[in-house]
Structure 1
Amino acid sequence: MMDFLQPTSWSEALRIKSERPGAVPVAGGTDVMVELNFDHRRPEALLDLNRVAELAEWSEEDGRVRLGAGVPYARVITELGDELPGLAMASRTVGSPQIRNRGTVGGNLGAASPAGDSHPALLAADAVVEVASVRGTRMIPAAEFYTGVKRNALEPDELIAAIHLDVARGPQQFAKVGTRNAMVIAVCAFGLALHPEQQRVGTGIGSAAPTPRRASAAEEFLSGELTAAGLWSAPRPLTDSVRRRFGELVAQAASPIDDVRGSAAYRRHALAVLARRTLGWVWQDYCGGSWPACA
């Protein structure tokens, strides 16, 4: 027997989660319902969050977006493409139109699958996850949120409230490799963001390690190259050696496995290619004058 709990407010949802920490939250249900259908999971209760209106809202203040955990991918695409371009690109690659209408970034974080499409974009953009319980609210950087394969930093009585991201101040990109063009689980994925005001680069690797992760050495290398050559203020084409080294460092940051979707060697090779390509795309945008730093 499985209880089905339906709070109508955020405070009620937190109270129920405190009283029933084993209750599994569900909004879009695109992950949870699959696990239930295949009998991979049989929780004591489901905590339906669809009636909690504030979870389906987003707001922008002082150049920062607060994205409610229940905002579906389809709305990220249509409403936040300019503010959060990397996340919008990643959202376009998620499943089918039906899945994008139901699935949420908050649900992707809760599932914490290494192959989740939103994770590389969140990491590259320095996202912060807002989690809450009856005890209070915590802000967890995305880089610290993933703790293992399908495990995250949530305490048993906590729920994901929102994701906080700065409005993009530089070009962002996302790309993934899969066995077909649509409705595919990533063999590997990569997110890239330029942060020109800080003269810094952000990256995110997906489906190529036990958890989504950043490629810190690649970020430091590229940031250093751009700064040393004065390219943040006076952009010009990058050398092939910089592109290749960036790709190599991204591949080295991964720790992939062999599985039915691809070998570890293939994943490393594909990541290097994705890193070079996304770098080419963001740098073309940056040099094209579409961002204030290039004007």
Structure 2
Amino acid sequence: MDFLRPTTLDEAVAFKARRPDAVPIAGGTDVMVELNFDQRRPSALLDLTGVPELATPDRPSISDGWLSLGACVPYSKVITEFGAVLPGLAMAARTVGSPQIRNRGTVGGNLGAASPAGDCHPVLLAREAEVELVSERGTRRIPAERFYTGVKRNALDEDELIAGVRFPAVTRCAEQFAKVGTRNAMVIAVCSFAIVLRDGRVGAAIGSAAPVPRRAAEAERFLAAELPWEEGTALPGSLTRRFGELVASAAEPIDDVRGSAGYRTHALAVLARRTLTWAWDDYRSGERACA
């Protein structure tokens, strides 16, 4: 197995162009597990830890109406440095593994693995993020909802690398993320859900309950039309229940060792109701501002 270690982004994309079979590795929290269990034996690893362009910015910075996050920024820094402006992503990051894993793992790695159970995916979808891909041919950006193409499959071309993620800047928003697992920590989600209320718009997305992470589009449309945006009044139970039903209807779950399809459907409805209530309380109180 060859080990390729670029020190610049240009060098990294050049390596990837010459060796499209090379598997990118940053934190290694997914790739090394597969190697250790002999589930994968690539001919080359492309180490991205020495590429500074992929680890920046290390502080929130808005440019042209977008907030960018480098592919190799670790979860721990998402929590400490980006939590105030991307609270939903920080919430999801806190549920990832142990402190050691959060110090190593990255959002870019989560995207590259493209697992339906990836914790960051629902937040990226609900926040209408764009994934930035780079190759020797140039840079392209695609909406997160078009990035996931199947179970552990994504829209990367064989010569492309994930450079980062960017989020539209908004003047007012509230974000929540929640997941159900078989225990409280270091666990793969049985199901997960993210909601974003921003500038009169609603983002809602599910994880670990369909072949790919997906937005609950019907639930989004319903809630955007029914929320008392101007009045800021408390939400009636009928509204939260209907929202939960529509979120659950967007799922396409399976039975597996972590939970049954029926349980996932029920749990998503509960998560949707709870997170909507929390997010609405934040939104109408104005306690949490986003970038």
Both structures adopt the same fold (TM-score exceeding 0.5): yes
RMSD across aligned positions (CA): 1.0
Give CA-to-partner distance per residue, 1:229-267, whole Å, 9 cap, x none: xx2122101111110000000000000000000000000
What amino acid does structure 2 have at the position aligned with 1:156?
E
SS at match of 1:164: strand
Give CA-to-partner distance per residue, 1:145-185, whole Å, 9 cap, x none: 00000000000000000100134521100000000000010
Per the alignment, residue 205 of structure 2 pairs with 204
SS at match of 2:188: coil
Q: Does 1:250 align with 2:247?
A: yes
Matched residues in 2 for 1:135 and 1:291: separation? 40
How far off its partner does 1:288 sit? 1.9
What does 1:8-19 correspond to in 2, within 5 Å? 8-19=7-18
Matched residues in 1 for 2:188 and 2:112: separation? 17
Matched residues in 1 for 2:65 and 2:188: separation? 32
Q: Does 1:57 align with 2:56?
A: yes
Per the alignment, residue 37 of structure 1 pairs with 36
- In 2, are the aligned partners of 1:127 and 1:164 still within 8 Å (CA)? yes
The structure 1 residue matched to 2:97, chosen from 85, 95, 98, is 95
What does 1:56-205 correspond to in 2, within 5 Å? 56-58=55-57, 59-167=61-169, 169-196=172-199, 199-205=200-206
User: Can you give the 5+ residue segments of structure 2 that lack an aligned partner in the other structure?
Assistant: none
Matched residues in 2 for 1:184 and 1:127: separation? 25
How far off its partner does 1:62 sit? 4.6
Matched residues in 2 for 1:186 and 1:110: separation? 18
What amino acid does structure 2 have at the position aligned with 1:131?
L
Matched residues in 1 for 2:131 and 2:64: separation? 18
What amino acid does structure 1 have at the position aligned with 2:34?
E
User: Can you give the 5+ residue segments of structure 1 that lack an aligned partner in the other structure?
Assistant: none
What amino acid does structure 2 have at the position aligned with 1:135?
R
- In 2, are the aligned partners of 1:84 and 1:167 still within 8 Å (CA)? no
Q: Does 1:221 align with 2:222?
A: yes
- In 2, are the aligned partners of 1:251 and 1:272 still within 8 Å (CA)? yes
How far off its partner does 1:284 sit? 1.0
SS at match of 1:171: strand
Of all paired residues, the percent bearing the same amino acid is 68
How far off its partner does 1:204 sit? 1.3
SS at match of 2:173: coil
Normalising by structure 1, report the TM-score.
0.95
